[in-house]
Amino acid sequence: MSFKEQLCKYGKGEVPVKDMLKMLMRDTVKADESKLPHICSLDWEFNLSSIFVEVNTPLGPYGTRSTAALTVNASGEVSFFEMFLDKDTWKEKTVSYYIRRPKSEIEN
């Protein structure tokens, strides 16, 4: 599901960050070869062209080790969600906090 489709699915409601991150940032769809920059081997560029990269090389696996999303809503709630590879296991971490608005801004 594309980012635009995700937004349409939730309308004006809040998009669940974890769902968005898991769906969009784990996208393995490769780019059209004709749109690659041709600055290194075509095979290498093609393998690295997706959002989520997983490639086996002669030196071992190469690819995405972490991905993150930062959200800020109108009430000042900030959330940082991260998915990261720890050894061979994908883990998740969320940190949330609030940003206080300056008093002068609240009074206006």
pLDDT at 91: 95
Distance CA 52, CA 35 (A): 18
The pLDDT tens digits of the residues spanning 57-101 come to 999 999 999 999 898 888 899 999 999 999 989 999 999 999 987
For residues 6 and 20, the answer to whether their CB atoms sit within 8 Å is yes
Question: Which among 106, 85, 104, 84 has a CA at the least distance from the CA of 94?
Answer: 84
Place of tokens 């898991």: 22
The pLDDT tens digits of the residues spanning 34-56 come to 999 999 999 999 999 999 999 99
pTM: 0.70
For residues 85 and 65, the answer to whether their CB atoms sit within 8 Å is yes
